[in-house]
């Protein structure tokens, strides 16, 4: 009986360890965020525009050189290390940023895929990529979001208190959906480079709500 009881304790302990390990996978580290979106695109790629400049479907900037992971929703998960880039600003000072430009092709025949991006994401661009929904609520440190020219009908930015730039025109938002976006915007600000918070959107709803929050609004 004592041996049976000891065996039960071992089994229970192992189960607890497995559960804790799974919970640990769901816990975000300091400054880490998660963005999830659904796309009907068959390929995420870097294209050439009419001026032969790179045009990315998916582009990220991170806060530092730590890697991010992308679960492509088809059984493939990749880890990416950001590339350190730098440029001179108007004052001749060196500015540093870290970027990732991933690509992926789907061959499983499914009509849509749910993609999950995890890491210290600063800017997130996913434009013109047949995106039908996106969840950025688990990425509160996000400063820039560009999701223009997709198929979105709603966008929840109520948790994105650090947001400084948003481009969301060319989607399927109603006037009420845009009013929610205006109301959810954090208070606008001028950053250390003197750049004011900006919003680019379709001419829907009452965008003066955003202007009253000190956002510069461009309407299309």
Q: Residue 16 pLDDT more than 60?
A: no
**Beta strand segments in the chain, E:** 33-39, 43-44, 46-48, 54-56, 58-62, 68-71, 77-80, 83-88, 94-100, 104-105, 113-119, 121-126, 131-138, 144-146, 165-167, 198-201, 216-219
Q: Residue 77 pLDDT more than 60?
A: yes
pLDDT at 175: 98
pLDDT at 29: 67
Q: What is the mean pLDDT of residues 41-66?
A: 79
Q: Residue 200 pLDDT more than 60?
A: yes
Q: Residue 121 pLDDT more than 90?
A: yes
pLDDT at 133: 98
pLDDT at 115: 98
Written as six digits, the tokens of 123 are 């800017």
**Cα 85 vs. chain centroid, distance in angstroms?**
20
Q: Residue 12 pLDDT more than 70?
A: no
Nearest by Cα to 101 from 134, 65, 61, 66? 61
Count other Cβ atoms within 10 Å, centred on residue 90. Answer: 7
Q: Residue 50 pLDDT more than 50?
A: no
Written as six digits, the tokens of 219 are 């309407």
Q: Residue 177 pLDDT more than 90?
A: yes
pLDDT at 95: 87
Give the CA distances from residue 214 to residues 82, 118, 150, in Å, rounded to whole numbers and listed in that order. 32, 30, 26
Q: Measured between alpha carbons, how far is 96 from 187 in angstroms, rounded to an integer?
A: 26
> Bigger pLDDT: 19 or 158?
158
Q: Measured between alpha carbons, how far is 114 from 108 in angstroms, rounded to an integer?
A: 13
Count other Cβ atoms within 10 Å, centred on residue 86. Answer: 8
> Bigger pLDDT: 91 or 140?
140
pLDDT at 193: 83
pLDDT at 52: 45
The pTM is what? Answer: 0.85
DSSP 30: T
The DSSP element (H or E) to which 34 belongs, if any, is strand 33-39
18-30: buried (b, 16+ CB within 10 Å) or exposed (e) per residue?
A: eeeeeeeeeeeee
Q: Residue 17 pLDDT more than 70?
A: no
> Bigger pLDDT: 192 or 9?
192
Q: Residue 56 pLDDT more than 80?
A: no
Q: Residue 136 pLDDT more than 60?
A: yes
Written as six digits, the tokens of 143 are 């400063």
pLDDT at 48: 56
* High-pLDDT (> 90) share of the chain, %: 75
């Amino acid at each position: 009986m004592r041996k049976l009881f000891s065996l039960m304790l071992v089994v229970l302990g192992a189960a607890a360890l497995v559960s804790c390990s799974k919970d640990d996978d769901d816990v975000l580290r300091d400054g880490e965020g998660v963005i999830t979106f659904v796309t009907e695109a068959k390929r995420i790629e870097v294209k050439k525009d009419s001026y032969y400049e790179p045009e990315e479907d998916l582009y990220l900037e991170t806060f530092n050189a730590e890697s991010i992971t992308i679960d492509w929703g088809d059984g493939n998960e990749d880890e990416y290390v950001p590339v350190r880039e730098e440029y001179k600003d108007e004052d001749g000072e060196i500015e540093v940023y870290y970027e990732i430009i991933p690509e992926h092709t789907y061959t499983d025949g499914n009509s849509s895929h749910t993609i999950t991006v995890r890491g210290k994401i600063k800017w997130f661009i996913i434009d013109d990529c047949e995106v039908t929904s996106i969840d950025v609520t688990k990425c509160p440190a996000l400063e820039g979001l560009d999701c223009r020219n997709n198929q979105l009908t709603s966008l929840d930015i109520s948790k994105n208190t650090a947001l400084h730039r948003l481009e969301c025109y060319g989607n399927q938002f109603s006037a009420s959906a845009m009013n929610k976006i205006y109301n959810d915007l954090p208070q606008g600000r001028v950053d250390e480079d003197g750049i004011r918070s900006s919003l680019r959107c379709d001419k829907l709803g009452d965008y003066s709500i955003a202007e009253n929050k000190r956002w510069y609004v461009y309407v299309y």
